[in-house]
Amino acid sequence: MANTKVTLKRSPKKTTVGHARKKIVRKKAAPGAGKGLNDMRTELTALKKMVLLQKVKQELLRSREIGHAGVDTLLAEYLKVILNLTGTSAGSILMHEGDHLVFRASVGRDSKKLITRPLPLDEGIAGWVFENGKSYMSADVFRDPRWSSRISSELRFPTKNIMAVPLRSAEKTIGVIEIINKKGRRPFRREDREMLETLAGQLALDVSYAMLLSESLRVAHRRATQMELSMVLNSSLNQRQVRTQAIEAVTSLLDAEVGSLLLVDEKTGDLFFEVALGEKEARVKQIRLKMGEGIAGWVAANDQPALINDVQNDPRYFRKAQTITDFVTRNMVCVPIRSKGRVIGVLQAINKNGGELFTEEDLENCWTLSNQVAIALENAHLYAELRETFLNTAEALAAAVEKRDPYTGGHIKRVVEYSMAIARHLSLPLNDMEDLRLAAVLHDIGKIGIKDSVLLKQARLDHDEVAHMREHPLVGEDILGHIEQMKSVRKIMRSHHEKWDGSGYPDGLKGENIPIHARIIAIADTFDAITTDRPYRKAADWNTAVQEIKRCSGRDYDPLLVEAFMRACDAGEVTIIQG
- Listed residue (83, 86, 178, 75) closest to 127, CA to CA: 178
- Distance of alpha carbon 256 from alpha carbon 233, whole angstroms: 19
Nearer to Fe ion among residue 293 and residue 507 (C-beta): 507
> Is there binding between residue 498 and Fe ion (CB under 5 A)?
no
Residue 279: count of CB within 10 angstroms of its CB: 10
Binding track over 233-252 against Fe ion, x by CB under 5 A: --------------------
- Smallest gap from Cβ 515 to Fe ion, in A, equals 15
Size of the site for Fe ion (CB under 5 A): 1
3-state SS assignment for residue 553: strand
Query: Under rule CB under 5 A, which residues in 45-64 are in contact with Fe ion?
Result: none
Closest to Fe ion by CB, 234 or 488? 488
Strand partners, 137: 163
DSSP H or E stretch at residue 225: helix 190-235
Sheet holding 118-120, edge to edge: 118-120, 100-107, 88-97, 172-182, 162-169, 136-138
Q: What is the DSSP letter of 146?
A: T
Binding-residue pattern over the window 102 to 141 for Fe ion, x denoting contact by CB under 5 A: ----------------------------------------
Q: How far is the CB of 287 from Fe ion (least distance, A)?
A: 48
What's the CA gap between 115 and 96, in Å, rounded? 14
For residues 291 and 301, is the Cβ–Cβ distance under 8 A?
yes
In whole angstroms, the minimum distance from the beta carbon of 561 to Fe ion comes to 17
Rounded distance, CA 547 to CA 541, Å?
10
Nearer to Fe ion, 94 or 401 (CB): 401
Q: Looking only at residues 425 through 484 of this chain, which bind Fe ion when binding is defined by CB under 5 A?
A: 444
Q: Pick out residues in 529-558 that bind Fe ion (CB under 5 A).
A: none
Nearer to Fe ion, 435 or 444 (CB): 444
E strand or H helix that includes residue 549: helix 542-551
Cβ at position 447, least distance to Fe ion in Å: 7
Phi, psi (rounded to 5 degrees) for 82: -60, -45
> Smallest gap, in angstroms, from Cβ of residue 472 to Fe ion?
6
E strands present in 390-432: none
Torsional sign, CA 467, 468, 469, 474: positive
Report in angstroms how near the CB of residue 479 gets to Fe ion at its nearest.
14
Strand partners, 87: none
Give how far Cα 237 sits from Cα of 249, 391, 424, Å. Answer: 16, 16, 22
Residue 448 and residue 476: Cα distance in Å, rounded? Answer: 8
> Cβ of residue 538: shortest distance to Fe ion, in angstroms?
21
- Give min distance, CB of 558 to Fe ion, in A: 17
CB of 574 to Fe ion, least distance (A): 19
Judged by CB, which is closer to Fe ion: 352, or 496?
496
Q: Which of 77/498 has CB closer to Fe ion? A: 498
Residue nearest to Fe ion (CB): 444
Q: How far apart are CA 356 and CA 335, in angstroms?
A: 19
**Smaller CB separation from Fe ion, 165 or 522:** 522
Q: Which is nearer to Fe ion, 21 or 470 (CB)?
A: 470
- Measured from the CB atom, the residue of 297 and 504 that comes closer to Fe ion is 504
Cross-strand pairs, 102 = 95, 118
Instruction: Supply the minimum distance, in Å, between the C-beta of residue 412 and Fe ion.
Output: 11
- Cβ nearer to Fe ion, comparing 237 with 469: 469
Q: Which amino acid is at 395?
A: E
Size of the chain in residues: 579
Q: Which residues bind Fe ion (CB under 5 A)?
A: 444
